[in-house]
């Protein structure tokens, strides 16, 4: 899985379906996830600085970071459609709109493996993003950029599916869920093929959403994604290569230990001892989302 296309940072680019509709469906599913909010509120309040949300999607976590006392939140994402959803969320949520008006909440449209931001952050969050980065090379680039954006005492959180949630077999096309979208029921099916290697699990994941149209026909929205779930050993090696040191690992947002059947793989890291090579800059965003 090498040779990424120039727009590979946008998970909806090149899909045979409307990106804005895929982003709306994405929110329908992801906005229901709330079990990690207390964890992120607490991490923000402990690090007490500004937060860089790398691969922020439509900003599901923004309100939590502000509730946790973040002085400033910067969300970076490669998907223009998800950033449009994030702007919509900001407009419709008074606390987010107030933070954006004070320049305490900003969006940056950029690739998480090569973004340009001059600020330093007390907390960098990479939640659900590393599997999208096309393998070890992309993950290392992302972690190296993330490390450069950490303050001396800052913490980086990597948060992905745990070993207990990874598929053990290929899965045929299966009905995942039925939900309501703009007053009509939509149905999602998915299938996946997996390939295990020494460094983790590669997954080809395809979804198909069926959406009834006003004229009674059914629109079909296909999409497909290639994912890489590193083993804990592979991820810890990449974290070290990026100039970080692993501080803690958890198997859930309730801080349970990481085990073979854990639902999450959460890794907290900081800059490696001796990484004083870069002068700490003043918080300043140089690439800003229009």
Ligand X SMILES: C[S@@+](CC[C@H](N)C(=O)[O-])C[C@H]1O[C@@H](n2cnc3c(N)ncnc32)[C@H](O)[C@@H]1O
**Distance separating alpha carbons of residues 190 and 234, to the nearest angstrom:** 28
Convert residues 65-94 into a mask of x (bound to ligand X by CB under 6 A) and - (unbound): ------------xxx--x------------
Nearer to ligand X, 79 or 190 (CB): 79
Tokens of 49: 């600085």
Which residues are CB-contacts of 182 (< 8 A; sequence separation ≥ 6)? Answer: none
Q: Which residues pair with 230 in a beta bridge?
A: 200
Residue in 185, 176, 167 with CA at minimum distance from that of residue 207: 176
Strand 121-127 with 50-54, pairing: parallel
Nearer to ligand X, 15 or 245 (CB): 15
Per CB under 6 A, 47 contacts ligand X: no
Tell me the Ramachandran region of residue 215: left when phi exceeds 0, alpha when psi lies from -120 to 50, beta otherwise.
alpha
Nearer to ligand X, 245 or 289 (CB): 289
Q: Is 187 exposed, middle or buried (0-12, 13-18, 19+ CB in 10 A)?
A: middle
Contact residue for ligand X among 19, 57, 135, 243 (CB under 6 A): 57
**Distance separating alpha carbons of residues 151 and 50, to the nearest angstrom:** 10
Nearer to ligand X, 33 or 101 (CB): 33
Convert residues 145-184 into a mask of x (bound to ligand X by CB under 6 A) and - (unbound): ----------------------------------------
- Tell me the window of 37-45, 55-63, 92-100, 227-235 that interacts with ligand X (CB under 6 A): 55-63
Per CB under 6 A, 11 contacts ligand X: yes
Tokens of 191: 């299938």
Shortest approach of ligand X to residue 249 CB, angstroms?
A: 18
- Tell me the window of 90-98, 126-134, 180-188, 251-259 that interacts with ligand X (CB under 6 A): 126-134
Which residues of the shown chain bind ligand X in the complex (CB under 6 A)? 9, 11, 30, 55-57, 60-61, 77-79, 82, 111-113, 127-129, 132-133
């Amino acid at each position: 899985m090498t040779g990424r296309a120039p727009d590979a940072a946008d998970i909806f680019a090149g899909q045979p379906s409307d990106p804005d509709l895929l982003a709306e469906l994405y929110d329908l599913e992801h906005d229901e996830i709330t079990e990690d909010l207390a964890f992120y509120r607490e991490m923000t309040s402990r690090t007490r600085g500004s937060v860089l949300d790398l691969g922020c999607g439509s900003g599901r976590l923004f309100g939590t970071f502000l509730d946790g006392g973040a002085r400033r939140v910067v969300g970076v994402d490669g998907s223009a459609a998800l950033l449009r959803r994030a702007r919509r969320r900001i407009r419709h949520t008074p606390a987010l709109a107030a933070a954006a008006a004070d320049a305490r909440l900003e969006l940056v449209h950029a690739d998480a493996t090569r973004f340009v931001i001059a600020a330093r952050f007390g907390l960098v969050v990479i939640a659900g993003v590393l599997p999208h980065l096309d393998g070890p090379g992309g993950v290392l680039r992302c972690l190296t950029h993330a490390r450069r954006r950490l303050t001396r005492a800052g913490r980086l959180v990597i948060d992905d599916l745990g070993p207990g949630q990874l598929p053990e077999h290929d899965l045929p096309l299966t009905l995942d869920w039925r939900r309501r979208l703009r007053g009509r029921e939509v149905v999602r099916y998915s299938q996946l093929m997996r390939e295990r290697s020494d460094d983790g699990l590669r997954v080809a994941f395809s979804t198909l959403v069926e959406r009834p149209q006003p004229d009674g026909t059914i629109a079909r929205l296909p999409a497909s994604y290639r994912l890489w779930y590193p083993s804990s050993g592979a991820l810890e090696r990449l974290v070290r290569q990026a100039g970080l040191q692993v501080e803690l690992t958890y198997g859930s947002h309730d801080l349970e230990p990481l085990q073979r059947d854990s639902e999450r793989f959460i890794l907290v890291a900081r800059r490696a001892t001796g990484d004083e090579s870069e002068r700490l800059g003043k918080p300043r965003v140089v690439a800003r989302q229009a």
